[in-house]
Amino acid sequence: MSIRRINRRPLWRIPETGDKADWQGWGFELMDMDRKRVDKVLATPQASR
């Protein structure tokens, strides 16, 4: 699974540090970039309702 597939809506730009997406009860935050490539992502479970 790629981060691009998790965020279903197109960004129409290169992602930036701090971009966030939610998917199937998980929150993903882009923590670090290596030029144009995603280097580090923080994945955290979201509280169930």
Question: Region 16-26: what's the mean pLDDT?
Answer: 88
Using DSSP bridges, classify how beta strands 20-23 and 26-34 pair: parallel, antiparallel or unpaired.
antiparallel
Are 28 and 42 within 8 A, CB to CB? yes
Rounded CA gap, 12 and 25, in Å?
25
Looking at the structure of the chain, the number of domains it has is 1
Rounded CA gap, 18 and 2, in Å?
17
First to last CA, the chain: 25
Output the pTM of the full model: 0.69
Q: Is the pLDDT of residue 30 over 70?
A: yes
Q: Is the pLDDT of residue 31 over 90?
A: yes
Residue 26: give the domain boundaries. Answer: 3-45
Rounded CA gap, 9 and 6, in Å?
9
Percentage of the chain with pLDDT > 70?
76
Residue 42 is predicted with a pLDDT of: 94
Please give the mean pLDDT across all residues of the chain: 81
